[in-house]
Amino acid sequence: MKRRLVGFGVVLLVCVFGMSGFAFAQKPYEGVTVTVITWDTATARAIEKMLPEFEEKTGMKIDWNVFSEPVLREKVMADLAARTGVYDIFLLDSWQTARYARAGYVIPLDELLATKRSEYFCEDFAPVYLDALKYDGKLWGLPYYGVVGILMYRKDLFEERGISVPETVDQLTEAAAKLTDKSKQMYGIAMRAIKGEDNPIISTSWTWVFGGEWLDENMKPGVTSPEFIAGVKWFEDLLRNYGPPDVSRYSWLEVQNIFVTGHAGIIFDASDFVGRIEDPELSQIVGKIGYALAPAGPCCPITERYPSHLFTAGMAINADSKNVDGAWLFLQWMTSKEVQQRSVGMGNTGITSVSVLQSEEFRSAYPTAVPVILRAMELANPEYMPHIPEYPELCEIIGTQISRVVAGEATPEEAMKVAYDEMYKVLEQAGYYK
Amino acid sequence: MILQRKSFLVLALPALAVLVIVSIYPFVACVNNSFRFYDLTRPSEGKPWVGLTNYGLLLGDVRFWHSIKVTLYFVAFGVGAQLLLGFAMASLLNSLERVSKVILPVFLVPMVIIPVVVGLNWRLMYDQTLGIINYLLNALGFPSQPWLGSGFHAMLSVILTDTWEWSPLVFLILYSGMKALPTEPYEAAKIDGATGFQILTNVTLPLLKPVILIAILIRTIDAFKWFDTIYIMTSGGPGMATETASMYSYLIAFNFFNIGKGSAFSVLMLALVNVFCVFYARIIPREGGLG
Amino acid sequence: MRKKQKPLWYLCAALVILLIFFLFPVYWIFVTSLKTRVQAIALPPVWIFRPILSNYIKVFSEKTFIRAFSNSLVISVAAVFLSALIGIPAAYAFSRCKFRFKSNLLFWILSTRMAPPIAVIIPFFLLFKDLRMLDSHLSLIVVYLTFNLSFLIWLMRGFFEEIPQELEEAALVDGATDLQAFARIALPLAAPGIVASVILSFLFSWNEFFFALILTRKVAQTLPVMVSGYIGFMGIEWEKMSAAAVAATLPVLIMSMLVQKYLVRGLTMGAIK
């Protein structure tokens, strides 16, 4: 009898412990898999390392996919065309936001923000990055990676030749002239001028500060205005006279390479260059780099118009996702302040949270660059590129025509006339002129 | 003709069946899409029938015609150069029997490397300031060239890279063709006292015709579609000097998300390739063997 | 054996020039795989440096690389094997048969290779999605099989046409079936063509990028897609990419070295008897 009681007691104990263990093992998202596809950046690497913690805490499995930009676009497009909903979260950059939002491929986050905000949510995304992901009054993604335009220059050469940091575009031209010595393959300045959609983010930053606009108030192309053409002319002359001879094929890669091998005195490009050009594994000029705000154009001071080169990569939730709640939670986590803070130490320079940008850790990683980046973010204005669904077509047209000018294939007037006609066709077919 | 109908079917049916089953649906779908408005940025509008609108838009687009022109240059000069170089390589190796076992895999290497890597590598080599090609040119006393910086040079460079990459294919086809030739004609020619050149033109080339034809056809077809290395090296620039039809259609389909227009573009390209292939097949009569 | 009349040194000089032309860029890629990133893009170029094997070690220890490598291997071998299995007999059939629409049919076969990938990629994607074959080895094997068939049939047909029909006719007279004639006479004589077809089919399948990209995700990802992953956003890992690319060339090269012994001189008619 006693043995039976003991046996019963043991069984009871086991059951109790077992059930409580079972209760503890039930995590909120057990059994849910969220599939993410994003660009392969330093941020992505950092996040990938931290995934196990998130999975441990929530029980969610994250299917993490990274690809380069054009490749990612192709894969996401096939998924959207078939509406498979395979990727719960995918990369939505500021260029694509309007398009995808209007097409209904992504869900607006406003309601989720209002009702299901979790502890992870980053309260202080930089407004300039957050706005880039808004369209039609709603928010479509959370900023995961953001950059602004800054000037990066060889401060050792500036000191040597007594050049001061340029504050107007004319001073920039002078500085570039003083640094150029073509016989030694030393070029004053290098910027992107490659054909296609890659250069307008740079080149139209400059036409902006000359007073030019992509579109006028009636949504007609503004590229033939005298201000815009003046900007294109300045861009062409600067690169033709003081840039590398084949600059019309320069993408970010060539701009970076010519700078880190010591053959360019000044470059104007994205703030996330900082992480790479200060990396001794890549750069031969570590410690010789100065950072400054880009100069003002003739039309206005930089407080009114700044060469912004603004770009935001956001992460959005697929409208066909079957795990919206889980995806939303992960989305908040991967853009959270904590994750961003920890990624600073892993080489991420595309931070989107203001407090992380101002943090001690980020400042001490790039002491001379960070104040410049912060100020540039305050000055940057996303207005210089229209936030409409037809943006990619317009961008490609402008980029190709400006590249032709730099290559010497056409005068600014001729090229902008072609751009005007093509942009007009696109906007007309899209129904803006009814 | 020695095959019976039944044997023909046994031998050929599996392949034909696979081809029909796998390729019919996508082809029909592509043609179907070409007659419709199919824009992935406007899914709510569906895929309504628009007849020849896509074709009209393309045929009226100056950029379309320009891309066709660039493609024709690329194919004509590229395939031509590959044919000459491939034949030279095959003849050479055919004469140098002793080293052929070692040299053959070596000759194949360029086309074995992943095209994306080939494109990136050549892009760096072609850089006017930092590239190794200009560095070597300078070392030999020649001035630097704007390999990818001027329209004319870029076209040249793209064709050069393509020739570098695909001559090995022509080489392999022609070399194996040479190896499969019977020895009688050569012995007869030697007895007749023919010179090397006469042997080449009167014996080798005629016998190799079927193989030469397939080499030309395959390279032409692939060159029309070619995308990877050009995209990486020039993105179609500078200006639009190297924007081939495949690149422009890629832009339309994958940047502007217009599948309808992209499909129409592809149908037009298909028609063009067909014209070329029919032309070749007519000009090079297929008298191969001695049968 | 037939000998060229030109003096040997002309030929050797030509060979050396060709080798330099073809091998220098390869050498450049190979050497980059042994450098650090700074050295890879330096100007003046770094000729003398201490080679490091760490790039290769890093690449080979990545699970994604190993999986991509084995996927590529499985898919390419299967595609080549299957396409040779059904393509070579078909090629023979076309070379030994006359019927009314033969050239049209042959042309249609060739045209299956003409389709630009962008035109058919979305339909293929939808098709495989409905068949639940996305991200599977089978989907790529089927696609590559189809692309290789057209090329293989045309190439082998060319080789079979070079072989005089008398040999098979003689065998038929001796009592062989036409299938036996194919297997015992035509096939061995067309060995060089088979070698070329196998090498090239393998190569096309091994290096194919676009379909592999769109139709696979993680499970069946192939080497070209994986290697392109070294192009990060705003950063290219040259050293690792070169190392991976060099490693990726090995299977094709090894296979070429193995099969090239079948690239034998065409036999004489007398020898067959």
Give residue-wise pLDDT tens across range C168-219. Answer: 888 888 887 878 888 888 888 888 889 889 999 999 999 999 999 999 988 8
Q: Percent of chain A beyond pLDDT 70?
A: 95
Q: Under DSSP, is residue A216 helix (H, G, I), strand (E, B) or coil?
A: coil
Most A CBs within 10 Å, among C234, C237, C239, to test the A interface: C234
Which residues of chain C make contact with A253, given a CB cutoff of 8 A? 236
Half-sphere exposure of A281 (CA within 13 A, CB side): 11
Q: pLDDT tens-digit profile of B72-130?
A: 999 999 999 999 999 999 988 888 888 888 889 999 999 999 998 999 899 989 999 88
Q: What is the pLDDT of residue C1?
A: 41
Q: Is A67 on the interface with C (CB under 8 A)?
A: yes
Which residues of chain C make contact with B254, given a CB cutoff of 8 A? 118
Q: Is B106 within the bounds of a domain?
A: yes
Q: Which fold has domain A33-147+311-357?
A: D-Maltodextrin-Binding Protein; domain 2 (3.40.190)
Among the partner residues B1, B103, B135, nearest to C96 by beta-carbon distance: B1
Closest by CA position to A379, among listed A177, A208, A243: A208
Indicate yes or no: CB of C179 within 8 angstroms of CB of B7.
Answer: yes
Contact A337, A353 (CB under 8 A): yes
* Strands of the sheet with A33-39, listed across from one edge: A61-67, A33-39, A89-93, A311-317, A142-147
Indicate yes or no: CB of A194 within 8 angstroms of CB of B235.
Answer: yes
- Specify the residue for token string 């045309």: C154
Nearby residues of B147 by Cβ (< 8 Å), 6 or more positions away: A246, B126, B127, B128, B131, B133, B134, B153, B154, B156, B157
Q: Is C24 within the bounds of a domain?
A: no
| CATH code (residue B106) | 1.10.3720.10
Which residues of chain A make contact with B147, given a CB cutoff of 8 A? 246
Q: Is B228 on the interface with A (CB under 8 A)?
A: no
Q: Is B6 within the bounds of a domain?
A: no
Q: Is C236 within the bounds of a domain?
A: yes
Token duo for residue C30? 């190979």
Closest by CA position to A205, among listed A408, A399, A428: A399
- Count Cβ atoms below 10 Å from residue B187 Cβ, excluding itself: 12
The DSSP output letter for A39 is E
Q: Is B60 within the bounds of a domain?
A: yes
Q: What is the pLDDT of residue C89?
A: 92
Which helix (H) or strand (E) segment holds residue A169: the answer is helix A169-179
Q: Is C48 within the bounds of a domain?
A: no
pLDDT confidence band for A88 (50 / 70 / 90): very high
Q: Is C264 on the interface with A (CB under 8 A)?
A: no
Instruction: In whole angstroms, give the CA distance from residue A286 to residue A303.
Output: 31
Q: pLDDT tens-digit profile of A323-373?
A: 999 999 999 999 999 999 998 888 788 889 999 989 999 999 899 999 999
Closest by CA position to B33, among listed B283, B287, B252: B252
Q: What is the pLDDT of residue A180?
A: 94
Tally of structural domains, chain B: 1
Contact A349, A100 (CB under 8 A): no
Amino acid at C182: F
For chain B, the average pLDDT equals 88
Which residues of chain B make contact with A183, given a CB cutoff of 8 A? none
Find the helix packing angle between C191-207 and B97-112, rounded to 10°.
30
Amino acid at A357: L
Q: Phi, psi at residue B131, to the nearest 5°?
A: -80, 155
Q: What is the pLDDT of residue A13?
A: 64
Half-sphere exposure of B160 (CA within 13 A, CB side): 17
| CATH code (residue C235) | 1.10.3720.10
Helix-strand-coil split of chain B, %, nearest 5: 75, 0, 25
Most B CBs within 10 Å, among C8, C37, C69, C122, to test the B interface: C122
The DSSP output letter for A64 is E
What's the average model confidence in pLDDT over A53-72? 89
Q: Is B220 within the bounds of a domain?
A: yes
| Structural domain for C114, as ranges | 58-272
pLDDT confidence band for C272 (50 / 70 / 90): very low
Q: What class, spelled out in words, does domain A149-309+387-429 have in CATH? A: alpha beta
- Closest-CA residue of chain B to C116: B225
Min distance C56 CA to chain A CA atoms (Å): 17
Q: Phi, psi at residue A84, to the nearest 5°?
A: -80, -25
Residue B223 pLDDT exceeds 70: yes
Amino acid at C177: T
Residue B291 pLDDT exceeds 60: no
Q: Is C51 within the bounds of a domain?
A: no
Indicate yes or no: CB of A103 within 8 angstroms of CB of B43.
Answer: yes
Q: Is A183 on the interface with C (CB under 8 A)?
A: no
Which residues of chain B make contact with A248, given a CB cutoff of 8 A? 149, 237-239
Most A CBs within 10 Å, among B33, B41, B147, to test the A interface: B41
What's the average model confidence in pLDDT over C225-242? 80
Residue C85 pLDDT exceeds 90: yes
Residue C23 pLDDT exceeds 90: yes
Contact A285, A262 (CB under 8 A): yes
Q: Where are the alpha helices (DSSP H) in B140-226?
A: 151-179, 184-191, 196-199, 205-225
> In chain A, which among 28-47 make CB contacts under 8 A with chain C?
39-42
- Closest-CA residue of chain B to A264: B129
pLDDT confidence band for A35 (50 / 70 / 90): very high
- Count Cβ atoms below 10 Å from residue A277 Cβ, excluding itself: 21
Among the partner residues A70, A103, A263, nearest to B129 by beta-carbon distance: A263
Query: What are the residues of chain A with a beta carbon less than 8 Å away from any beta carbon of chain B?
Result: 70, 73-74, 77, 80-81, 99, 102-105, 185, 187, 194-198, 244-249, 251, 254, 257-258, 261, 263, 389, 392-393, 396, 400, 403-404, 407, 409-410
Min distance A5 CA to chain C CA atoms (Å): 54
- Count Cβ atoms below 10 Å from residue A286 Cβ, excluding itself: 14
Q: Phi, psi at residue A152, to the nearest 5°?
A: -125, 130
Q: Is C234 within the bounds of a domain?
A: yes
Q: What is the pLDDT of residue A11?
A: 65
Residue A51 pLDDT exceeds 60: yes
Strand partners, C236: C231
Indicate yes or no: CB of A39 within 8 angstroms of CB of C233.
Answer: yes
Most B CBs within 10 Å, among C11, C18, C35, to test the B interface: C18
Q: What is the pLDDT of residue B289?
A: 33
Q: Is B255 within the bounds of a domain?
A: yes
Residue A352, CA distances (Å) to A125, A169, A356, B80, B154 in order: 6, 29, 8, 53, 39
> In chain C, which among 66-95 make CB contacts under 8 A with chain A?
none
Among the partner residues B41, B148, B243, nearest to A246 by beta-carbon distance: B148
Indicate yes or no: CB of A261 within 8 angstroms of CB of C41.
Answer: yes
Q: What is the pLDDT of residue A1?
A: 61
Residue A171 pLDDT exceeds 80: yes
Tally of structural domains, chain C: 1
- C114-150 in b/e form (b: 16+ CB < 10 A) is bbbbbbbbbbbbbbbbeeebbbbbebbbbbbbbbbbb
Q: pLDDT tens-digit profile of B114-159?
A: 998 999 899 989 999 888 899 899 999 999 899 998 889 999 999 9
Q: What is the pLDDT of residue A17?
A: 57
Q: What is the pLDDT of residue A4?
A: 74
Q: Is C150 within the bounds of a domain?
A: yes
pLDDT confidence band for B203 (50 / 70 / 90): confident
Closest by CA position to A185, among listed A132, A227, A118, A246: A246
Q: What is the pLDDT of residue C234?
A: 61
pLDDT confidence band for B287 (50 / 70 / 90): very low
Q: Under DSSP, is residue A194 helix (H, G, I), strand (E, B) or coil?
A: coil
Which residues of chain C make contact with B1, given a CB cutoff of 8 A? 96-98
- Count Cβ atoms below 10 Å from residue B47 Cβ, excluding itself: 15
Indicate yes or no: CB of B214 within 8 angstroms of CB of C109.
Answer: no
Among the partner residues A81, A102, A409, nearest to B239 by beta-carbon distance: A409
* Chain A / chain C CB contacts < 8 angstroms: 66
Q: Is A284 on the interface with C (CB under 8 A)?
A: yes
pLDDT confidence band for A12 (50 / 70 / 90): low
- Specify the residue for token string 């990727």: A87
Instruction: In whole angstroms, give the CA distance from residue B107 to residue C57.
Output: 28
Indicate yes or no: CB of C252 within 8 angstroms of CB of B108.
Answer: yes
| Structural domain for B73, as ranges | 32-40+47-283
Among the partner residues C2, C116, C162, nearest to B269 by beta-carbon distance: C116
Instruction: In whole angstroms, give the CA distance from residue C234 to residue A43.
Output: 12
Contact A88, A327 (CB under 8 A): yes
Q: How far is CA C205 from the centre of its chain?
A: 6
Residue C269 pLDDT exceeds 90: no
Instruction: In whole angstroms, give the CA distance from residue B200 to residue B216.
Output: 19
Report strand pairing: A89-93 vs A134-135: unpaired
Instruction: In whole angstroms, give the CA distance from residue B80 to residue B41.
Output: 41
Q: What is the pLDDT of residue C170?
A: 83
Sequential DSSP letters for A181-192: BGGGTBEEEE--
Which residues of chain C make contact with A286, given a CB cutoff of 8 A? none
Q: Is C121 on the interface with A (CB under 8 A)?
A: yes
Strand partners, A313: A93, A145
Instruction: In whole angstroms, give the CA distance from residue A237 to residue C171.
Output: 79
Q: What is the pLDDT of residue B17?
A: 93
Indicate yes or no: CB of B240 within 8 angstroms of CB of A248.
Answer: no
The DSSP output letter for A152 is E
Among the partner residues C126, C214, C236, nearest to A253 by beta-carbon distance: C236
- By the 10 Å C-beta count (0-12 exposed, 13-18 middle, 19+ buried), A281 is classed as exposed
Q: Is the peptide bond before C192 cis (omega within 30 degrees of 0)?
A: no
Min distance C266 CA to chain A CA atoms (Å): 46
Which residues of chain A make contact with B243, given a CB cutoff of 8 A? 195
Q: Is C267 within the bounds of a domain?
A: yes
Indicate yes or no: CB of C6 within 8 angstroms of CB of B249.
Answer: no
- Closest-CA residue of chain C to A255: C234
Q: Under DSSP, is residue A34 helix (H, G, I), strand (E, B) or coil?
A: strand
Contact A140, A101 (CB under 8 A): yes
Which residues of chain B make contact with C196, given a CB cutoff of 8 A? 172-173, 175-176
pLDDT confidence band for A306 (50 / 70 / 90): very high
Q: Enter the ipTM.
A: 0.88
Indicate yes or no: CB of A393 within 8 angstroms of CB of B128.
Answer: no
Q: pLDDT tens-digit profile of B256-282?
A: 999 999 999 999 999 999 998 888 877
